[in-house]
């Protein structure tokens, strides 16, 4: 079968669920695999390698179910060059609207030595297994594992055998990440020029990242004539991983001027699937990872932040929205300048006169020297520090709690509510829960608790705890913060502070919704 593909198109073959899952420790559950396959299919990935069906009962079940549920994507199952492997792969993928069997064998001298096959014996094995696969399925991919360390003449010979036996895609793996871009392009180009029948099949590239060259090698292979890139989300994979899907998709998009090959992948879905794969595999994405790292669209230094505020193109070659991110971030730290502080305050709804800004900036620099990252709450606390809380509608007067192993915790709270002192006692699942319930008894409200966070500011058992509470009510958000050596007291004050801010918000109708924060300074 001739594989027709427009020459300006590159197929994206995702192997997160097979090669990616092979990374030590990256095992995903059945449900996680189904969900990731659905996301891959939805984002326009052409081929999903869903697993290695003979490897385990679990892999078989996952590949079968992914095949059954597939929509557009071709669903592929991996098989060694053995008839039972191929039968099992077919059993699993046959349920897909568009099934593919992928069979492989190591062809380099080091890999031929393992099954102890001569070159001729291996050639026969390739012929027999590809023929068998092709009799089951009309879409067959064949890979000479460790192709980049296989003798040139032998590589040409086995690729020709696989094509004659019916393979429709020939994948050329750089299994140990050994090749370099110039060589990668040249290898594919020479194979296409040399091997009889090469123009009847699609050549694929499958690069590992041992030298950090996987994405560059994959794109070079495309320049050499490959029309399928094998990759994984976040570059997950054996050892240093594989070519990262997000990198090739964005490189082709951003540098279409020099790499004029299209993919049908919707890049705006990248961030979502990256996060999903990171949480399912347990492999957190490194902060400085291209495209999907936390810092990929973050700018801290004064010069960069100033440039970004004037024109984002000064320091960004793609828009955050192109990968599904809402916006770039300008985290404030010790390298940040006044322009970024002013912009951040504006975002938070605070407009300061120049002399006030100067004053807050001095205090901000002092804080940034002591703290790695300065959060919105910190900035607002700097602005509001020293503000008089005497006019707040809700004022904590006293709190006592009982908790321990014996039963539910209880809290007795005395609070002034608009000038009237009131008392409530509540039980709860722990002292904080009991305290919050007591606050709600004295000041009934529908505010939804969005965040409750405790930080130890100092060390030791007498550590000062800073508690942040974020509440949401009818689209209004308010944050309260408080510090105390007693975590429960700090929690109560932070909660009451946030409620006080909401009360102020309720009174201010018709204004922009914005976050108001208050820090207890007592």
What is the C-alpha radius of gyration for the chain, rounded to an integer number of angstroms? 30
The two tokens of residue 52 are 């290695």
Backbone angles phi, psi at 252, to 5 degrees: -70, -30
Our CB check for ligand KIV shows the closer of 237 and 331 to be 237
Verify binding: residue 112, ligand KIV, rule CB under 6 A: no
The two tokens of residue 344 are 């951040």
Print burial letters for 189-203: b (CB count within 10 Å at least 16), e (below 16): bbbbeebeebeebbb
Our CB check for ligand KIV shows the closer of 144 and 480 to be 144
Identified binder of ligand KIV from the candidate list 51, 77, 99, 173, rule CB under 6 A: 173
Residues within window 9-48 making contact with Zn ion, judged by CB under 5 A:
19
Cα(28)–Cα(280) distance, integer angstroms: 6
Which of Zn ion, ligand KIV, none is residue 70 near (CB under 5 to 8 Å by kind)? none
From the list 169-177, 183-191, 374-382, 402-410, the region that binds ligand KIV by CB under 6 A is 169-177
475: left (phi over 0), alpha (psi -120 to 50) or beta: left
Q: Least distance in Å: CB of 241 to ligand KIV?
A: 11
Q: Least distance in Å: CB of 68 to ligand KIV?
A: 24
- Secondary-structure percent of the chain, ordered helix, strand, coil, rounded to 5: 40, 20, 35
Q: Least distance in Å: CB of 316 to ligand KIV?
A: 33
The two tokens of residue 445 are 């409200």
Identified binder of ligand KIV from the candidate list 175, 179, 184, 476, rule CB under 6 A: 175
Which of ligand KIV, Zn ion, none is residue 123 near (CB under 5 to 8 Å by kind)? none
Decide: 277 and 245 in contact? Cβ < 8 Å.
no
Verify binding: residue 80, ligand KIV, rule CB under 6 A: no
Decide: 409 and 433 in contact? Cβ < 8 Å.
yes
The response to whether 266 counts as a known ligand-binding position is: no
The response to whether 186 counts as a known ligand-binding position is: no
The response to whether 206 counts as a known ligand-binding position is: yes
E strand or H helix that includes residue 58? helix 57-69
Closest listed residue to residue 276, CA positions, set 23, 15, 77, 33: 33
Binding mask 117-156 for ligand KIV (x = CB under 6 A): --------------------------x-x-----------
Binding mask 6-45 for ligand KIV (x = CB under 6 A): -------------x--------------------------
Our CB check for Zn ion shows the closer of 64 and 209 to be 209
Our CB check for Zn ion shows the closer of 19 and 41 to be 19
Q: Least distance in Å: CB of 152 to ligand KIV?
A: 18
Which of Zn ion, ligand KIV, none is residue 143 near (CB under 5 to 8 Å by kind)? ligand KIV
Is 373 exposed, middle or buried (CB count within 10 Å of its CB: 0-12, 13-18, 19+)? Answer: exposed
E strand or H helix that includes residue 96? none
The set of residues, in sequence order, having a beta carbon less than 8 Å from that of 518 and lying 6+ positions away, is 380, 381, 384, 387, 389, 479, 480, 481, 497, 498, 500, 501
Residues within window 208-247 making contact with ligand KIV, judged by CB under 6 A:
208
Q: Least distance in Å: CB of 217 to ligand KIV?
A: 12
Verify binding: residue 515, Zn ion, rule CB under 5 A: no
Is 118 exposed, middle or buried (CB count within 10 Å of its CB: 0-12, 13-18, 19+)? Answer: exposed
Verify binding: residue 206, ligand KIV, rule CB under 6 A: yes
The two tokens of residue 33 are 């695999």
Residues in the chain: 522
Which of Zn ion, ligand KIV, none is residue 517 near (CB under 5 to 8 Å by kind)? none
CA distances from 57 to 21, 25, 30 (A): 15, 18, 11
CA distances from 134 to 2, 64, 90, 130, 137 (A): 13, 19, 10, 6, 5
Q: What is the dihedral of CA 183, 231, 103, 77, to 10 degrees?
A: -170
Our CB check for Zn ion shows the closer of 218 and 482 to be 218
Verify binding: residue 160, ligand KIV, rule CB under 6 A: no
Specify the DSSP class assigned to residue 51: E
From the list 171-179, 180-188, 474-482, 502-510, the region that binds ligand KIV by CB under 6 A is 171-179
From the list 40-48, 156-164, 170-178, 486-494, the region that binds ligand KIV by CB under 6 A is 170-178
Which of ligand KIV, Zn ion, none is residue 157 near (CB under 5 to 8 Å by kind)? none
Q: Least distance in Å: CB of 10 to ligand KIV?
A: 18
Provide the annotated binding site for Mn(2+).
19, 206, 208, 242
Contact set with ligand KIV (CB under 6 A): 19, 104, 143, 145, 171, 173, 175, 206, 208
Binding site for Zn ion (CB under 5 A): 19
Cite the annotated binding site by residue number.
19, 206, 208, 242
């Amino acid at each position: 079968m001739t594989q027709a593909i427009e020459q300006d198109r590159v197929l994206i073959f995702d192997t997160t669920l097979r090669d990616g899952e092979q990374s030590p420790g990256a095992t995903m559950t059945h449900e996680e695999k189904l969900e990731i396959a659905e996301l891959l299919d939805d984002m326009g990935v052409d081929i999903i390698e869903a697993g290695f069906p003979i490897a385990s009962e679990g892999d078989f079940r996952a590949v079968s179910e992914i095949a059954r549920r597939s929509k557009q994507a071709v669903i592929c199952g991996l098989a060694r060059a053995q008839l039972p492997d191929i039968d099992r792969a077919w059993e699993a993928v046959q349920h897909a609207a568009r099934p593919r069997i992928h069979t492989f064998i190591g062809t380099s001298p080091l890999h031929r030595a393992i099954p102890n096959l001569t070159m001729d014996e291996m050639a026969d094995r390739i012929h027999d297994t590809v023929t068998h696969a092709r009799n089951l399925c009309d879409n067959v991919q064949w890979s000479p594992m460790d192709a980049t360390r296989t003798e040139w003449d032998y590589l040409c010979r086995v690729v020709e055998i696989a094509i004659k036996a019916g393979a429709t895609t020939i994948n050329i793996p750089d299994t140990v990440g050994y090749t370099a871009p110039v060589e990668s392009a040249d290898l594919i180009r020479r194979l296409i020029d040399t091997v009889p029948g090469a123009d009847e099949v699609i050549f694929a590239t499958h690069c590992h990242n041992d030298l950090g060259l996987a994405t560059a090698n994959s794109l070079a292979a495309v320049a050499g004539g490959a029309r399928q890139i094998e990759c994984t989300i976040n570059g997950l994979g054996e050892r240093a991983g594989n070519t990262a899907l997000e990198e090739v998709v964005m490189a082709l998009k951003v540098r279409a001027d020099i790499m004029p090959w299209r993919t049908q992948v919707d890049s705006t879905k990248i961030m979502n699937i990256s996060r999903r794969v990171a949480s399912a595999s347990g492999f957190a994405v490194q902060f400085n990872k291209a495209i999907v790292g936390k810092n990929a669209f973050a700018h801290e230094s004064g010069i960069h932040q100033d440039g970004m505020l004037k024109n984002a193109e000064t320091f960004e070659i793609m828009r955050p929205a192109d990968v599904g991110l809402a916006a770039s971030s300008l985290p404030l730290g010790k390298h940040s300048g006044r322009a970024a502080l002013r912009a951040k305050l504006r975002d938070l709804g605070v407009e300061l006169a120049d002399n006030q800004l100067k004053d807050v900036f001095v205090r901000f620099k002092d804080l940034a020297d002591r703290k790695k990252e300065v959060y919105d709450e910190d900035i607002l606390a700097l602005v509001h520090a020293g503000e008089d809380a005497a006019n707040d509608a809700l004022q904590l007067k006293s709190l006592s709690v009982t908790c321990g192993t014996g039963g539910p915790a209880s809290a007795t709270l005395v609070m002034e509510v608009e000038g009237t002192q009131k008392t409530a006692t509540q039980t709860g699942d722990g002292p904080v829960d009991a305290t919050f319930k007591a606050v709600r008894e004295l000041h009934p409200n529908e505010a939804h608790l969005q965040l409750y966070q405790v930080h130890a500011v100092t060390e030791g058992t007498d550590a000062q705890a800073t508690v942040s509470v974020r509440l949401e009510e009818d689209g209004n958000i308010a944050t309260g913060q408080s510090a105390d050596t007693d975590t429960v007291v700090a929690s109560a004050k932070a909660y009451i502070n946030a409620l006080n801010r909401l009360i102020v918000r309720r009174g201010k109708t018709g204004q922009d919704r914005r976050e108001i924060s208050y820090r207890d300074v007592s």
